[in-house]
Amino acid sequence: MTISVPATSANLGPGFDTLGLSLSLRNKVVIQPSRFFSVSIKGEGANNPRLKGNNLFINIFNDHYRHLTGKRGVFRFKFYNQIPLSRGLGSSSAVIVSAIASAYSAAGVYIGKRKLLNLALYYEHHPDNITPAVMGGFNVAVVENRKVYSLKKRIPNYLKAVVVIPNKPISTTYSRMALLKSYKKEDAIFNLSRSSLLTACFFNESWDMLRISAQDRFHQVARMKNLPELAEVQKLALENNALMSTLSGSGSSFFNMTYRDDAPMLLEKFRKRFPSFRSEIFDFDNDGVLFS
């Protein structure tokens, strides 16, 4: 069996812990029954021995497989990872979602996407990354009584993501430490209004208002201080026809949306200005988790 899960970009400026979308960059795992347990990793994390010895995927998989079957199976796990680790592109969400989906698939038990999403919430308590990882597309999500409620909008193929991926990882835990403990009422209203408009922009395909609606006063400035070059990334993007430019998740990657025809020019400028960073054009993913 094969399970694949897309990368995600969350928050999207003002939508702190609420808004997210998925990108056409996937982690894939192939699982085969075996006489002996084994793990192989290709791509991101292949040179990190800790991922083989203390693998979050394996721990979650074993918990759910044992719950479903009453036994511990023996499998060979082959990971093909494209999502960079600790760069704000949803690598941990991809692990959580794929592990649960794989356990159900290995046990021969059907799991719908809504149930999968709510099981993933146990491991990641805010829904902005896990929701697009499961559903694909653009998602607005909230949690009520330990359950995710969300709406999805497919993203048209004439839009592209131009993503800047710095060579410095930033953990979500470390990044959250930089956040303020309280916010002024004016800043809360500012973010509420922008996140509401941003959601409306996606659902109405009103891309001309994204630049205004993507502004944020809650988290981006504080987090971007960890890597000052990110302010330059955002400035360069907005000067070169980006529809929106936001910190991806908690960083360090930066997400930029453009029209398809503007993407190559912006990519070239990023690569020229930030040669030590990785800059790529990605399509948007509208499928979410895939089983085969």
What is the domain partition of the chain in residue ranges? Answer: 2-154+287-291, 159-282
* The pLDDT of residue 54: 59
> What fold does the segment set 2-154+287-291 form as a domain?
Ribosomal Protein S5; domain 2 (3.30.230)
- Asked if 110 and 72 touch (Cβ cutoff 8 Å), the reply is no
How does DSSP assign 117-148, residue by residue? HHHHTTTSSS-TTHHHHHH-SEEEEEEETTEE
Other beta carbons within 10 Å of 36: 7
* The pLDDT of residue 112: 97
* The pLDDT of residue 52: 66
Q: How many CA atoms lie within 13 A of 138 on its CB side?
A: 19
Domain at 159-282, CATH class: alpha beta
* The pLDDT of residue 261: 98
Phi, psi of 98 (to 5 degrees): -70, -35
* The pLDDT of residue 174: 66
* The pLDDT of residue 170: 77
What is the distance between the alpha carbons of residues 202 and 138, in angstroms, rounded to a whole number? 8
* The pLDDT of residue 12: 98
Per-residue pLDDT tens, the chain, 292 aa: give them: 999 999 999 999 999 999 999 999 999 999 999 999 999 999 998 888 777 655 899 999 999 999 999 998 999 999 999 999 999 999 999 999 999 999 999 999 999 999 999 999 999 999 999 999 999 999 999 999 999 999 999 999 999 999 999 998 877 676 777 787 899 999 999 999 999 999 999 999 999 999 999 999 999 998 988 898 999 999 999 999 999 999 999 899 999 999 999 999 999 999 999 999 999 999 999 999 999 8
Please, which residues bridge with residue 5 across strands?
Answer: 27
What is the distance between the alpha carbons of residues 113 and 166, in angstroms, rounded to a whole number? 32
